[in-house]
Amino acid sequence: MQASLLSTLPNHTTILPPTSFRTHHTQTHKPYSLSVRATTETTTTPSPPLTTTTDPSPKLNKYSSRITEPKSQGASQAVLYGVGLSDDDLSKPQIGISSVWYEGNTCNMHLLNLSEAVKEGVQEAGMIGFRFNTIGVSDAISMGTRGMCYSLQSRDLIADSIETVMSAQWYDGNISIPGCDKNMPGTIMAMGRLNRPSIMIYGGTIKPGHFEGHTFDIVSAFQVPFLYFLILRN
């Protein structure tokens, strides 16, 4: 092979390839481009087969029917029989009643009784109501302590737990019963994720108390430390 030619010029040196290499390998090529060829094939998500019916009314149990109608879900149906459902009940819509009940907060201590009344109303409407609980945090108790670090994240846990039970149990609708603080946004977040018929029933605010002709509420309790130090200063 012919040796490389060195051409020395002022201030720099140029190295040239052999003549034969330049003759056969210096063809001009079109620049490569990164392009994606479009395809005419489309990918579609499989959908359940359409069923023809003459009944114009919507299927109210379209979610719970996933476990109450197929013969392959006999175990699911056996469990539902075990909790007291009859053959007729299996064709009714199932409503998950999520209560943010716990005893340690005046905003939430009564929600268990309220959920029982809600369940009775669901039954009277010809549906099946199943109650379940979720967690809650009282800002009134946690305020001013490290406990408030858990207040904001409690709404995500509430949403996660409601979404989990509703999806796993195939309930057709949701009725959430929150108390105060982060309970309400937590239940609403779950409803948005589920996109199923849902209602939020607020448990109500704490009733104020009365002492020596004065009315006191939770805000009054928050103001006590400031008033105490103000009195000491004066």
For position 1, what pLDDT does the model report?
A: 45
Nearest-10 Cα torsion for 122, 128, 132, 138: -10
Helices within 42-110 (DSSP H only): 65-68, 74-82
- CA dist 85 and 76 (Å) reads 12
**pLDDT tens, position by position, for the chain (234 residues)?**
444 444 444 454 444 555 544 444 445 545 444 444 444 444 444 444 455 556 678 899 999 999 999 999 999 999 999 999 999 999 999 999 999 999 999 999 999 999 999 999 999 999 999 999 999 999 999 998 999 999 999 999 999 999 999 999 999 999 999 999 899 999 999 999 999 999 999 999 888 999 999 999 988 888 888 888 888 887
The token duo for 182 is 């982060």
For position 52, what pLDDT does the model report?
A: 55
Domains and CATH numbers, the chain: 65-211 (3.40.50)
- CA dist 169 and 167 (Å) reads 6
For position 232, what pLDDT does the model report?
A: 84
- CA dist 121 and 127 (Å) reads 9
For position 12, what pLDDT does the model report?
A: 47
For position 53, what pLDDT does the model report?
A: 57
Query: pTM score, two decimals?
Result: 0.72
Whats the size of the chain, residue-wise? 234
The token duo for 99 is 């209560």
DSSP 25-36: H----PPP----
- CA dist 73 and 180 (Å) reads 39
Residue type, 36: V
Three-class DSSP category at 230? helix
